[in-house]
Structure 1
């Protein structure tokens, strides 16, 4: 049986832009936690570290879709290059401001400007789509990207904190900035695989977020993102209460492990079931598997429950991005994918806050109620949106139509 992953990487230029894209997206995970690690050690004030990190994360959540919208209209190299330059310079200023103890306002301004960092996951998926649009290989490519995203979140955050602790406070952020500069440069120099600019048929200035499929998928993944953050916050709180705080790393690690394996398997399959139904099944599994988390009162039970809860994460991502590829005009593809990525980030931010409040108020075990409620809300969103998500594929300009959902 042929290896479907080997097949997608036989496409001309695929190995190059995928490798560069992986390096360039490491700052997505490294920067927010790297800012916290850097400032908490250098300034000794956790509120300041958290506030500066939140400034970067929330600003990027708003700005990234706008940059992706410009990328759709002007091209990746035209827009992403200057945006990355601004981001890299701002990160360097942030590092210098921390090291040299510049005024606090310089930290916030530099973090705000650093948020010009483009959405690499969206740009990489746009290149895969340009190569495999309307072909079964797009499912494998999106599966690979979902697994790569998980690796980034697992490895990136650990690397950033590890460098800051082992070397010096700014080490994690220096590495993150270097990865952004080198990875993005290598990615943008590969012009042969850059997607062509497609003229929008929906009128000038129209945003992808006005597309109903994008709204539905983004809202659903806001709730899914809240589940991710709740698992991390609750795992830390519960293992600490059980007197085994070091076990939190294991618990969080197995959450991604199950999803990693299932994602690879799903990407190797050519399922015929409509994507909106696949998404409904995946989100149903996520919603149902949040319930056992409420009863995991030992580390062993927590590890098992979290592992099972994470099994459907990659399938959810794969089908969600597949639906965006099929339902959104190609003139809005990069922006559409970026909105979905932004939804995950927003969900994680609110989920962490909500879970933290519940843990402080009602105890560690009750933090998982945020997961249960979020899972139910995600499922309701997807079920109510089945008709819209199962509609005809959007019209494509200059390329074959994607296969219909049904």
Structure 2
């Protein structure tokens, strides 16, 4: 029996050359797709808050507002991987154009129903397609990096770090922007802005065809490319990212409740911003470091640190202490996500890279919806401290799965597809040629 390829953990006498962000951003054509991608990704974190604020303003029920927002988030998590798979099969632009148009129509319908005080069940029907049609720009950008860096695989770790920092930035700026527009103009205006940015950024991103991955045709007449989920490693990473999503969801609801109980509700955004900011800073540092350990080992360490950080949240006596504890948790988030995205590239079948990335992103969104719902129920019963048990429970379950099944994270079938040091991968990227 052939020996299973192993992850190379042996340190070398000389570390690989550091690959910095300036070198990455000098990649020819990078800014042409990064700029519209940022515009299209910014609304990603605006949608849930915008929906909640609009429904709360027109219906007055926190329960209905949260449930409608959760419906959109769940639809996005379920349908997102399907649009990612379709993008792998027919190309990004043919998927993006109709998706962003459906999104604009769905959001417009939701606004009209809410302002018209339509029955609550109609809001759920409109929220589902609004969430399902959120374009999977983050996954598509990561796929474009694979194409652009096919001749420079050592840059991939830095590219994925840059993308995680961008994700965190949108999660910091998006809710603040939605809240500011809702409070200064009108709640409906926040969702209108979200839809406008999604359409403008999505169409401009789709127009950048030169950087798009080559569509891989399955061999044989009528053959269909394999799904990313045929890889046990991809399934394991999706489960682990589901645990990370529960941290996001449980933290959001519990921080708000904790601040309200302390009589400082206006500071909840600041505390959560510290959490997200810690993740963003860790992502910046991660991409600048020369790593001597494999991405698999980095994932194990960062995930364990995340669980450790979450385990003390429930015991914090005041907002200042909670902000410090949240910062510690945040420092483990970006390294976990970056390591996971780096690994999934080596584990997903050829022709299913975008789908694989969307499964991870969708798992985070689904975990967020589950975490916020469960935490909300626990807070209603016993207060905010109990809500903070949701992040540690979700992340703890993910860590158990990761430790017990970590062998699944080793790429099979090619000794050359080894996770390299330096925060990058060194896979065989043949066939990912630039258009």
SS at match of 1:311: helix
Normalised to the residue count of structure 2, the TM-score between the two structures is 0.86
Q: Distance in 2 between matches of 1:34 and 1:365?
A: 26
Aligned equivalent of 1:117:
134
Aligned equivalent of 1:173:
191
C-alpha contact (below 8 Å) 1:329/1:394 kept by paired residues: no
1:378 deviates by 1.5
1:260 deviates by 1.1
Of 250-259 and 48-57, more deviation after overlay is shown by 48-57
Aligned equivalent of 1:91:
107
Q: Distance in 2 between matches of 1:393 and 1:258?
A: 38
1:27 deviates by 2.2
Matched, 1:11 2:11: no
Aligned equivalent of 1:25:
41
1:259 deviates by 1.4
Which of 415, 419, 426 does residue 403 from structure 1 map onto?
426
Q: Distance in 2 between matches of 1:171 and 1:32?
A: 14
C-alpha contact (below 8 Å) 2:217/2:225 kept by paired residues: no
Where structure 1 has 5 or more consecutive residues not aligned to the other structure, the ranges are none
Structure 1 residues 138 and 404, CA gap change in structure 2 (3 angstroms): closer
Q: CA RMSD in A?
A: 2.5
Structure 1 residues 309 and 2, CA gap change in structure 2 (3 angstroms): closer
Deviation per CA, 1:26-62: give whole Å up to 9, x if none: 2211112111212221343444433432332222221
Aligned equivalent of 1:328:
348
1:373 deviates by 1.9
Matched, 1:132 2:149: yes
C-alpha contact (below 8 Å) 2:172/2:277 kept by paired residues: no
Deviation per CA, 1:206-246: give whole Å up to 9, x if none: 42123211110010111111112222222222222233323
1:270 deviates by 3.5
Structure 1 residues 367 and 51, CA gap change in structure 2 (3 angstroms): closer
Aligned equivalent of 2:357:
337
1:323 deviates by 0.8
C-alpha contact (below 8 Å) 1:136/1:270 kept by paired residues: no
Matched, 1:187 2:205: yes
Matched, 1:364 2:387: no
> Map of 1:282-361 to 2, 5 A cutoff?
282-361=302-381
C-alpha contact (below 8 Å) 2:80/2:134 kept by paired residues: yes
1:122 deviates by 0.5
Of 275-284 and 114-123, more deviation after overlay is shown by 114-123
Of 249-258 and 123-132, more deviation after overlay is shown by 249-258
Larger helix fraction of residues: 1
Q: Distance in 1 between matches of 2:390 and 2:72?
A: 25
Q: Distance in 1 between matches of 2:182 and 2:97?
A: 28
SS at match of 1:331: coil
C-alpha contact (below 8 Å) 2:96/2:135 kept by paired residues: yes
Q: Distance in 1 between matches of 2:380 and 2:196?
A: 38
C-alpha contact (below 8 Å) 2:51/2:68 kept by paired residues: yes
Normalised to the residue count of structure 1, the TM-score between the two structures is 0.92
Q: Distance in 1 between matches of 2:304 and 2:42?
A: 30
Of 334-343 and 95-104, more deviation after overlay is shown by 95-104
Give the length in aligned residue pairs.
Answer: 402
Where structure 2 has 5 or more consecutive residues not aligned to the other structure, the ranges are 1-16, 417-423, 429-435
C-alpha contact (below 8 Å) 2:256/2:265 kept by paired residues: yes
